[in-house]
Structure 1
Amino acid sequence: MKVAIGSDHGGANLKDEIKSLMDELQISYEDVGCDCNDSVDYPDYGFPVAEKVANNEVDRGIVICGTGIGMSIAANKVKGIRCALVHDVFSAKATREHNNSNVLAMGGRIIGPGLAREIAKVWLTTEFEGGRHAKRIEKIADYEG
């Protein structure tokens, strides 16, 4: 598996934690930025992550901003993206099993590094169940056109 990861200034520190986790899990990743604490615009990092997933350059994406909200909105503007804003482990598992989410959004000012690592680990290691959930994903794809 290969993951694209990006953040704005509000998520830069948490992004480093998640990169460390992916190193431990031996998951390859591409960091699209940002690498600073200076104010930047989240769409400049959310769009590239989502585009890499949509274009099959990577398998999944992770985006992080202060709340995760802006990044999730930006990522979900890209056709084919099912970005889930997650701040608990149950939702991380459910969104993979039921929604086949391909981008994970988290808020660096909402959750701490320990919980973020647990969420990311569950999200990265949980497979899509398919079955009755697949037709729902197909309906979303059909609506997108």
Structure 2
Amino acid sequence: MKLLTATAYAQGLRVDDFHWAVEGELVTLRAFCDLHLDRPHGRCECGRVFIGLGSYYGTTTAMVRSFPGITEADYRDALRNSLDAQGWDACGADAEATRLIAEVSRLPVGAIVERFVDDLAVRALSDADIGRVPDRR
């Protein structure tokens, strides 16, 4: 299964980029407010951030990686558990997971994506499908 993970790769292409999440952790697109709907690059970052399921920190870039041992049910559980641990209502976690899995399934492994509210766009490609990410230096 292909899923999105936090990455620092391709950071800095936009002036409002940031990477506080743990490299490689699973992420979600959960938005916690509505301020981002009309201006995803405005003061609120909810419309452009991916949130780490373990660290609860954000990043503006995510990488598509393949996880053959993870099932859709596993990802749903991870998302639900993360939201519960953060004190958020997890009632929409299953639908959110299904939508994100469908979105990511059309992207190639190694794609670095950015987010614009509910849309994902490929920012760059890496060679992550063979386990290497080029050094950013």
Same fold? TM cut 0.5: no
Q: More helix per residue: 1 or 2?
A: 1
**TM-score normalised by length of structure 1:** 0.30
Query: What is the TM-score normalised by the length of structure 2?
Result: 0.32
